[in-house]
A and B are shown apart, each in its own frame.
Chain A
Amino acid sequence: GENVEQHPSTLSVQEGDSAVIKCTYSDSASNYFPWYKQELGKRPQLIIDIRSNVGEKKDQRIAVTLNKTAKHFSLHITETQPEDSAVYFCAAGFSGYALNFGKGTSLLVTP
């Protein structure tokens, strides 16, 4: 089955800096790559997703890039704010099937 590796496990940045979280996946057939944000004590919520026919997608301060050849994808957060502090999960899978999640990255944005 699909194996998703996520790095780093923890990340601390200063407010206003950029944050980058990277994931790799094992199954070249995977075609759907979402990112979820989980605030402390809350449920995971989808923040952005990308399909394999697209190399990059952007939504305000958040962007995701995908390199299918290398089987890795990344989340970029620019101009970080304290409310961006949360655990971020990447996932990979086939459209129409259950996802496999990475183990998460705990992001701390310090004022």
Chain B
Amino acid sequence: DAGVIQSPRHEVTEMGQEVTLRCKPISGHNSLFWYRQTMMRGLELLIYFNNNVPIDDSGMPEDRFSAKMPNASFSTLKIQPSEPRDSAVYFCASSRDHPGEKLFFGSGTQLSVL
């Protein structure tokens, strides 16, 4: 299995631009999570899906952030418009059976907003 696949690995953009991060979970995993990692705040849960349905989006910072999971093998996290404070590493993770248990993380997207 290729594991959780995220793209792009690195994204540099200017303030105000739209950013789209992509994730392909492990086949057969029915829960998908988006986390944001910064030095100051550590790993923060943004949103999680179970069977493609958003279950908890209380961690989404504000309306500029949105996430979708149109099918079991693909999810996107979109930031529009982006701001410098959005600079962070964004991880996607998936799990099977019990959401939250034995998470498999992707390699992350390093986002820099100038």
Contacts and interface: CB of A to CB of B under 8 A. Distances in A.
Contacts, number: 57
A52 B19 CA distance: 40
Contacts of B100: 32, 93-99
Interface stretch (B21-29, B42-50, B60-68, B69-77): B42-50
Contact of A44 (B44, B91, B102): B91
A103 to B, nearest CB: 4
B41 interface: yes
A89 B103 CA distance: 13
Given A89-B42, A103-B42, A104-B42, A98 B105 contact: no
Contacts of B43: 44, 89, 101, 104
Interface size class of A (residues with CB under 8 A): 20 to 34
A89 B42 CA distance: 9
Interface residues of B, number: 22
Given A89-B43, A103-B41, A104-B42, A95 B105 contact: no
Contacts of A46: 102-103
B42 A97 contact: no
Nearest to A42: B107
B42 to A, nearest CB: 4
* Most chain A CB atoms below 10 A, which of B33, B45, B48: B45
A25 B38 CA distance: 21
Closest 4 CB pairs of A and B: A103-B42, A43-B105, A101-B43, A98-B48
Interface of B: 33, 35, 41-45, 48, 55-56, 58, 91, 98-103, 105-108
